[in-house]
């Protein structure tokens, strides 16, 4: 799984705290999930298609949500646990990374999407 988290700078956190309830964990979770979806779509495109099962079962799972934080994981669903072996390889098979390259290629787009969701949520 690739974890996506928003970590704010002190200034950003101070501004969010000043805004109050508008900057809730729900808004941050919505933003993280929007960014994670961009990475999920790219991972699904990059996943090996030997049998076609892995690519269609890349999911976004919300994780920790606090008052001023949120995170999500992107990766194969539980039935496709073997996606980890595909990504990292084993002693008998070479790695065929698809999650990390998806994250690397889409991280800037995901950040922009997350920022846009927060801006919209705050009415900016």
Strand order in the sheet with 70-76: 2-5, 70-76, 58-65
For the residues 9-28, what does the mean pLDDT come to? 68
Check residue 37 and give its pLDDT.
Answer: 95
Domain ranges of the chain: 2-122
Label residue 23 exposed, middle or buried (CB < 10 Å: 0-12, 13-18, 19+). buried
Rg (the chain; Cα; Å): 16
Confidence tier at 18 by pLDDT (50, 70, 90): low
Q: Is the pLDDT of residue 110 over 60?
A: yes
Give 122 or 33, the one with higher predicted confidence.
33
pLDDT for 23 = 58
The pLDDT score that the predictor gives to residue 45 is 93
């Amino acid at each position: 799984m690739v974890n996506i988290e928003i970590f704010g700078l002190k200034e950003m956190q101070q501004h969010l705290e000043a805004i109050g309830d508008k900057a809730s964990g729900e808004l941050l979770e919505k933003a993280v999930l929007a960014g994670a979806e961009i990475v999920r779509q790219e991972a699904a495109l990059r996943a090996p298609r030997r049998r076609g099962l892995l690519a269609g079962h890349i999911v976004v799972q919300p994780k920790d949500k606090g008052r001023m934080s949120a995170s999500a994981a992107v990766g194969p669903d539980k039935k496709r646990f073997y996606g980890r072996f595909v990504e990292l390889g084993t002693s008998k098979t070479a790695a065929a990374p698809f999650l990390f390259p998806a994250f690397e290629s889409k991280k800037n787009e995901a950040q922009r999407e997350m920022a846009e969701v927060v801006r919209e949520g705050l009415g900016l």
